[in-house]
Chains A and B, each alone.
Chain A
């Protein structure tokens, strides 16, 4: 018994310790990984060098085709270590373009499904309006692809998923998080700057995780799965969800349910984790 536990412990592989490329490789069936527009293609940001910022050869996004549980798939991984995973023109186009091609595949009878590995602060401010426009196109493509195949988002950390890409996360057929993950619209510092320290203390880590961390989001039914930081566990979860197929009604279509719950909230007091879990019970 103890022997088996030791074996399992040794076999565990941390997902969050992997970079974007290795994360994508780990989730595709062994040997099926094929990267598109790899770093050697050198499609880099036209805008960063003008500002004295060193570009990355893949602009911080990895697009890899392959198989997931034997089915054609594309895994799109954002590299959180480059510019906080923020999206510029090229990285954004890689994501939108790959999703658009997956849609075309499905229209032609090939059931290409997509996984999005979301490690991102949202729009890259150094490319502001091109990042924002790309995110709108990513969102459009998710909604379109979702009609054919589940689109699964995974937020693993350490960066988390913020900004316009948190909205994209909310559009996914299924959303998975780890304990280390955070999922929220506005970065803590921006909220503190806009609304003051009393409203949001950006340096209070337990506070931030208590509201936007993976465990809380799962307990509030804002995500579909809470996975341990382990490659096999995550692969298994993905296979299960793809086998399950499209959800009956995506979370982002449940306006009636959410409006009813929000109208019952006592907004005269500040929000806390328990209040949110209670408000969203039984989702």
Chain B
């Protein structure tokens, strides 16, 4: 098990919170909360050791394209594929927009 941290530039703090997913095998839960203005901070607790580069790549792809509000994102991952991670993050962001 590893704990990894990532940061990206962001805009103003998001409004509201969201939770998606579940720490089942091959899945993950994502908690999204307002963060410090200007920063999107992600903490990943993952069962897969040595996966930091994969996470970095995935986040760069997702957050490189768009500027997001400032968020603190917590991920508890139990071996999800990048496809599932992306899906959950998108679900989470969508919930934030609806909330």
Residues of chain A having any CB pair with chain B under 8 Å: 19, 38-40, 49, 52-57, 79, 81-83
Q: Known: A81-B22, A82-B23. Contact between A57 and B29, CB under 8 A?
A: yes
**What are the interface flags for B37-54 relative to A under an 8 Å C-beta threshold, 1 for contact and 0 otherwise?**
000000001110000000
**In the complex, what distance in Å separates the CA atom of A56 from the CA atom of B24?**
9
**In the complex, what distance in Å separates the CA atom of A56 from the CA atom of B31?**
11
Q: Known: A53-B1, A57-B19, A81-B22. Contact between A40 and B47, CB under 8 A?
A: no
**A82 and B31 contacting across the interface, CB-CB below 8 Å:** no
A79–chain B nearest beta-carbon distance, Å: 6
Q: Which of B23-72 contact A (CB under 8 A)?
A: 23-24, 27, 29, 31, 33, 45-47
Interface contacts (Cβ under 8 Å), in number, total: 44
**In the complex, what distance in Å separates the CA atom of A40 from the CA atom of B18?**
9
Q: Which of B19, B27, B77 contacts A39 (CB 8 A)?
A: B19
**B19 and A81 contacting across the interface, CB-CB below 8 Å:** no
Q: Known: A39-B31, A40-B31, A54-B77. Contact between A81 and B47, CB under 8 A?
A: no
Which residues of chain B have C-beta atoms less than 8 A from A56's C-beta?
22-23, 29, 76
**B33 and A54 contacting across the interface, CB-CB below 8 Å:** no
Which residues of chain B have C-beta atoms less than 8 A from A83's C-beta?
23
B74 beta carbon closer than 8 Å to chain A: yes
Determine which residue in A53, A54, A55 has the highest number of CB atoms from chain B within 10 A of its CB, and name it. A54
Please classify the interface of chain B as helix (H, G, I), strand (E, B), loop, or mixed, using the class held by over half of its residues. strand
Count residues of chain B with CB under 8 A from any CB of chain A. Answer: 17
Q: Which of A19, A40, A54, A81 contacts B1 (CB 8 A)?
A: A54
**A40 and B76 contacting across the interface, CB-CB below 8 Å:** no
A256–chain B nearest beta-carbon distance, Å: 44
Which residues of chain A have C-beta atoms less than 8 A from B29's C-beta?
39, 56-57
B88–chain A nearest beta-carbon distance, Å: 13
B17 beta carbon closer than 8 Å to chain A: yes
**In the complex, what distance in Å separates the CA atom of A54 from the CA atom of B25?**
10
Given contacts A49-B45, A54-B76, A54-B78, 12 further A-B contacts (CB under 8 A): A39-B29, A49-B1, A52-B1, A54-B47, A55-B76, A56-B22, A57-B29, A57-B74, A57-B76, A81-B22, A82-B23, A83-B23
**In the complex, what distance in Å separates the CA atom of A134 from the CA atom of B23?**
22
**A81 and B24 contacting across the interface, CB-CB below 8 Å:** yes
A112–chain B nearest beta-carbon distance, Å: 26
B35–chain A nearest beta-carbon distance, Å: 13
Which residues of chain B have C-beta atoms less than 8 A from A38's C-beta?
19
**A54 and B46 contacting across the interface, CB-CB below 8 Å:** yes
A16–chain B nearest beta-carbon distance, Å: 15
Top 4 closest pairs, chain A to chain B, by CB: A81-B24, A52-B1, A56-B23, A81-B22
